[in-house]
């Protein structure tokens, strides 16, 4: 290891800021173990009690009809397609009720860019969920949906955000980030807004008091430099707003979409990116692993690369599952992954408030009904009216 790399790692581990150029050097050339050790030093300083958090939530898709036609997406159907569907409100509320019964504290309401769904649709959606289940945090949609609804309703971004916040939206998901730099974004989603526009919506939302997460999809042919540029673009906004609670990188899934798995990120590339992100984002509090796309073994390894959150027991997930994600878990297994990595598990809420810290195994919850699920949209009509099946998590 060169002295230059060693010095950068030490500065970052101590909480100092590193440049994008230094981050790229670490990503490409830093030995894996010192890189992971530096990232974990940041985690230990931030969270000296050694707690790693998890969440119980449900992703509920209100429609698969979409006009954007992203090449990596296996979920959407074009308007008037025979396999297109939109759930009635009673079906959405029924799924929210199931989630509450299983201990969920959050719902993610997400869907395609339906040509008829403007701000009014989302006002009704969020207010109906809030009225029926005020205990659920609505961490939902993303900048792409906000731009779409504003366009359909001919209103500004500011007005759209104000109205959906008033209707009950608590937090914006990092959905639609994929890759923010122009070249890879245009290659995989030519009809989607630019990365700069995506970030502009986030900045407006942060200014109106709506925080969010930030994400990144790896493995669609982007370069290492473009991955680091993605991080830089997020950090620049975070410097101005402080509104990103966490960063969540995940890996492209290759089934049933137009990219057909021609690229994909390796496990090593993913773990190195996770570690560099922890060192680069000194102003983003949390770093979440994506075991849903990488697998539980890689998710556990990421806990040694600076990660402090293992994500959720996702009671329902349709979009990534449609593209081939087949990793499932249950509450007991997720807690065991955290504990066997020599960390202390804790259930959190959307804002990372700790709801229950499992200091010892005697504190662990044991609800065997809380399992993650395969996609339900394989069923006709998006699985409307179908209950969550009780499946084992093997």
Q: Which domains does the chain have, with CATH numbers?
A: 50-380 (3.20.20.70)
Higher pLDDT, 63 or 123: 123
289 is in an annotated binding site: no
Q: What is the pLDDT of residues 124-147, one digit of tens each?
A: 999 999 999 999 999 999 999 999
Given this model, what pLDDT does residue 72 score? 57
pLDDT higher than threshold 90 for residue 391:
no
Range of lowest pLDDT (14-28, 115-129, 247-261): 247-261
Rounded to an integer, the average pLDDT of 59-64 is: 89
Given this model, what pLDDT does residue 184 score? 95
Rounded to an integer, the average pLDDT of 287-315 is: 87
Secondary structure, 3-state, the chain: CCHHHHHHHHHHHCCCCCCHHHHHHHHHHCCHHHHHHHHHHHHHHHCCCCEEEEEEEEEEECECECCCCCCCCCCCECCCCCCCCECCHHHHHHHHHHHHHCCCCEEEEECCCCCCCCHHHHHHHHHHHHHHCCCCEEEECCHHHHHHHHHHHCCCHHHHHHHHHHHCCCEECCCCCCCCCHHHHHHHCCCCCCHHHHHHHHHHHHHCCCCEEEEEEECCCCCHHHHHHHHHHHHHHHHHHCCEEEEEEEECCCCCCCCCCCCCCCHHHHHHHHHHHHHHCCCCCEEECCHHHHCHHHHHHHCCCCCCEEEEEECCCCHHHHCCCCCCCEHHHHHHHHHHCCCEEEEECCCCCEEEECCCHHHCCCCCCCECCCCCCCCHHHHCCCCCCCCCCC
Reported confidence tier of residue 229, pLDDT bands at 50, 70, 90: very high
Rounded to an integer, the average pLDDT of 323-349 is: 78
Neighbour count for residue 223 (Cβ, 10 Å): 12
70 is in an annotated binding site: yes
Looking at the chain, the whole-number percentage of residues with pLDDT higher than 90 is: 64
Looking at the chain, the whole-number percentage of residues with pLDDT higher than 70 is: 84
312 is in an annotated binding site: yes
Reported confidence tier of residue 365, pLDDT bands at 50, 70, 90: confident
Reported confidence tier of residue 378, pLDDT bands at 50, 70, 90: very low
Given this model, what pLDDT does residue 82 score? 85
96 is in an annotated binding site: no
329 is in an annotated binding site: no
pLDDT higher than threshold 60 for residue 64:
yes
pTM of the model: 0.88
Q: What is the pLDDT of residues 151-167, one digit of tens each?
A: 999 999 999 999 999 99
21 is in an annotated binding site: no
Reported confidence tier of residue 334, pLDDT bands at 50, 70, 90: confident
pLDDT higher than threshold 50 for residue 110:
yes
Q: What is the pLDDT of residues 231-290, one digit of tens each?
A: 999 999 999 999 999 999 988 765 444 545 455 688 999 999 999 999 999 999 999 998
Given this model, what pLDDT does residue 394 score? 36
Given this model, what pLDDT does residue 380 score? 42
């Amino acid at each position: 290891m060169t002295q230059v790399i060693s010095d950068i790692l030490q500065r970052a581990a101590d909480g100092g800021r590193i440049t994008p150029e230094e981050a790229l050097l670490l990503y490409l050339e830093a030995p894996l173990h010192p890189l992971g050790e530096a990232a974990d030093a940041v985690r230990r300083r931030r969270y000296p009690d050694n707690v790693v958090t998890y969440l119980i939530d449900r992703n509920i898709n209100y429609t698969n009809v979409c006009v954007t036609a992203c090449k990596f997406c296996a979920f959407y159907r074009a308007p008037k397609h025979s396999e297109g569907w939109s759930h009635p409100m009673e079906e959405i509320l029924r799924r929210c009720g199931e989630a509450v019964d299983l201990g969920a504290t959050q719902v993610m309401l997400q869907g395609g860019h339906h040509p008829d769904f403007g701000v009014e649709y989302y006002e009704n959606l969020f207010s109906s969920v809030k009225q029926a289940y005020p205990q659920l945090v609505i961490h939902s949609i993303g900048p792409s949906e906000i731009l779409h609804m504003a366009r359909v309703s001919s209103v500004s971004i500011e007005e759209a955000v104000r109205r959906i916040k008033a209707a009950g939206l608590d937090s914006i998901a990092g959905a639609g980030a994929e890759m923010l730099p122009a070249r890879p974004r245009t290659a995989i989603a030519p009809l989607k807004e630019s990365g700069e526009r995506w970030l502009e919506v986030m900045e407006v939302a942060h200014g109106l008091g709506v925080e969010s997460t930030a994400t990144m999809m790896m493995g669609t042919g982007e370069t290492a430099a473009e991955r680091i540029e993605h991080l830089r673009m997020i950090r620049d906004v975070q410097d101005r707003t402080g509104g990103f609670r966490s960063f969540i990188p995940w890996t492209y899934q290759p089934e049933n979409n137009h990219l057909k798995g021609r690229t994909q990120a390796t496990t090593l590339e993913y773990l190195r990116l996770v570690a560099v992100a922890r060192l680069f984002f000194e102003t983003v509090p949390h770093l979440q692993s994506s075991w849903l796309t990488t697998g539980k073994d890689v998710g556990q390894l990421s806990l040694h690369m600076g990660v402090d959150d293992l994500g959720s027991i996702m009671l329902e997930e349709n979009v990534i599952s449609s593209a081939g994600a087949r990793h499932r878990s249950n509450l007991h297994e997720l807690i065991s992954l955290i504990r066997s990595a020599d960390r202390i598990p804790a259930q959190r809420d959307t804002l990372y408030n700790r709801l229950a810290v499992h200091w010892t195994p005697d504190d662990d919850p044991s609800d065997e009904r809380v399992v993650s699920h395969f996609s339900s949209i394989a069923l006709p009509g998006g699985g409307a009216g179908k209950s969550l099946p009780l499946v084992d998590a093997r």
